[in-house]
Amino acid sequence: MDLCQICGAARDPLAVKCKFCGTAYTLTKLTGDVYIRALQKILINIDAQNTASHAAERKGLDRRSVLEKVLGEDDSTRSSRRTSADAKVTALQAFAMPSDLECLLQFLAFCHGNAQARAHDDLADAMKDAWYGKAKMAFTQLKMKAMANPDLLPYISDFEQVYGLRAKQPLSRNVKSGLILCALGALVFGALGYMAKLEHDGKTREIARLSGVVTKVQDSIAAGQYEVAESACAEIQWTCEPGKFAEMVKQYNQTRETLIAQIHAAKQNTKAK
């Protein structure tokens, strides 16, 4: 079967040019620009056909919902965009690769530029992956040709880190979002853990402080130093985030009142003697 030299589509013997990419069948010298223009035409035609189909579907709809007006895109528009994106990805993957060095170099640069474009949603992300795959194919062919023609290496060395054997394929938008969420989750849990540690340390220090004060009051009562004991009792008060440790506040208030009562009883016993 006779095929188009550019896009690989079956050639119509009655046509003078390919109905898919528009390339003239009589063309004898192929250039990188020809390949690029042919591919661009295929992608533009897909968008045009899809836009026309979508417009026909929406014809007769006079009103749009409030949500559609706010978002600027309804379900049918989103579906239309997805159909167009899927068709373009398929066309890009099936597009025939050039074979000569000049065409391959231009084609690699063109595909690489599209592969590095910023994706704004999952549909654009799918196109980026398709461009990346096409650029990698062009780079691989050039790398194989460079084995017999080392002079080619300087022209493709800049692409080695992106498409070479040790290159890592760019992460998709969904994977990046997942990694960002994981990182944010780790930060949140880390912050919560740090706050919990601070809270625990503060509670421990407060308990140690109050235990020391209670011991001092008890020793002062035993030694008959009631004034010292009464003065120390004023320090028996929970001060570490009292709103969070209401039970501890209540517990040490009761302890203070109990010790004050013991001091008064001890004073009375001393006077009675």
The full set of domain ranges for the chain reads 32-179, 198-272
Q: Model confidence over 1-28: pLDDT tens digits?
A: 578 888 888 887 767 788 888 888 775 5
**Distance (Å, whole) CA 8 – CA 174:** 33
Global confidence as pTM: 0.53
| Those residues with Cβ within 8 angstroms of residue 233's Cβ, 6 or more apart along the chain or in another chain | 217, 256, 259, 260, 263
Direct distance between the N- and C-terminal alpha carbons of the chain, in angstroms, rounded to an integer = 126
Element (H, E) at 197: helix 173-222
Indicate the burial class of 38 (C-beta count within 10 angstroms; 0-12, 13-18, 19 or more): buried
pLDDT at position 131: 94
pLDDT at position 253: 92
Give yes or no for residue 58 having a pLDDT over 70: no
**Distance (Å, whole) CA 90 – CA 55:** 23
% of the chain with per-residue pLDDT over 70: 83
Q: Model confidence over 176-223: pLDDT tens digits?
A: 566 577 677 777 776 776 677 777 788 888 899 999 999 998 998 888
The arithmetic mean of pLDDT across residues 124-151, rounded, is: 91
Asked if 96 contacts 10 with a C-beta cutoff of 8 angstroms, the reply is no
pLDDT at position 89: 93
**Would you state the structure tokens that stand for residue 131, as one six-digit string?**
């461009």
The better pLDDT of the pair 103, 68 is held by: 103
**Distance (Å, whole) CA 99 – CA 141:** 8
Residue 269 identity: N
Q: Which residue has the tokens 């373009």?
A: 88
**Would you state the structure tokens that stand for residue 273, as one six-digit string?**
């003697």
194 alpha carbon, distance to own chain's centre:
25
